[in-house]
Amino acid sequence: MTDRSILITGGFGVLGRAVAHAAHTAGYRVALVDRAPKPADLAADVLAFADVDLTDPEDAAATVAKVVDALGGLDVLVNVAGGFLWQTLEDGHSGAWELMHRLNLSTCLNTSRAALPHLKASPAGRIVNIGANAAVKAGAGMGAYAASKAGVHRLTESLAEETKGSGVTVNAVLPSILDTPANRADMPDADPRKWVAPADLAHVILFLASPEAQAITGALIPVTGLV
């Protein structure tokens, strides 16, 4: 068991909830932040902030300050917030690229910047970002999404270099397809046994969030299941 505090963005979604469950079970003081309304079935001792726009730097900073005040500090930030869109360049619209940039990269950037001073005050501050295996080599229709996640990868590497010697590590996990209800509905003929279970990915994230992972920073770690 631990007595560390963790902030999870995109905390009301499938992966966010999986990370929250694993962290809560391990004894973390947990805060969830999301743009969506607060779910009714959260544990009573899990702090939740709904209707937060992390693409807005001021909203991100204000929310992080509230979390730090409520938890008495911050040890770990997990940047789950993001979105996905598939479209070809020929048939799509240019706004998709800006949308993916805002949802996947700006949310990560704004929250990390706001959290960094508090993480530096922790004995073992950690940032874990959610990148994407699809951003290593983009397929057809994946350009906007992959470009935004590639930005998360470069942010992870750059911030890891900035924070060396501070006690803060910055890493990213690069999952392939997650086994979620939405993905099962979108790909009914696929075999979800070959996908990544959110709980399995959560365990990797929590290891990177732990003091034991102090020697790992700037890493982009593929978590691709059996695909």
pLDDT digits (tens, 9 = 90+) for 146-171: 999 999 999 999 999 999 999 999 99
pLDDT at 160: 98
Crossing angle between the packed helical segments 14-25 and 198-209, to the nearest 10 degrees: 50
- Please write the tens of the pLDDT for every residue from 102-148: 999 999 999 999 999 999 999 999 999 999 999 999 999 999 999 99
Question: Within the chain, what is the greatest distance between any pair of CA atoms?
Answer: 52
* CATH number where 31 lies: 3.40.50.720
Could you say which of 12, 97, 145, 195 is catalytic? Answer: 145
Give CA–CA dist 124/193, Å, rounded: 35
Residue 145 a catalytic site member: yes
Own/partner long-range contacts of 99-103 (Cβ < 8 Å, ≥24 apart) = 99/144, 100/144, 100/145, 100/147, 100/148, 101/147, 101/148, 101/151, 102/55, 103/55, 103/148
Question: Whole-prediction pTM value?
Answer: 0.96
Helix (H) or strand (E) holding 47: strand 47-49
Mean model confidence pLDDT for the chain: 96
**Phi, psi (degrees; rounded to nearest 5) at 5:** -110, 145
Give the pLDDT mean for 163-180: 96
Residue 181 has pLDDT above 70, yes or no: yes
Note down the domain range covering 54: 5-223
**pLDDT at residue 3, as a whole number:** 87
Give the pLDDT band (50/70/90) at residue 227: low
What does the alpha-carbon distance between residue 135 and residue 101 come to, in Å, rounded to a whole number? 13
Most confident of 92-101, 147-156, 184-193: 147-156
Spatial separation of the C-alpha atoms in residues 26 and 107, rounded to whole Å: 26
pLDDT score recorded for residue 144: 96
What is the per-residue pLDDT for 44? 84
| pLDDT tens digits for range 20-50 | 999 999 999 999 999 999 999 998 899 999 9
Element spanning 60, H or E: helix 57-71
pLDDT of residue 52: 98
Q: How many domains does the chain have?
A: 1
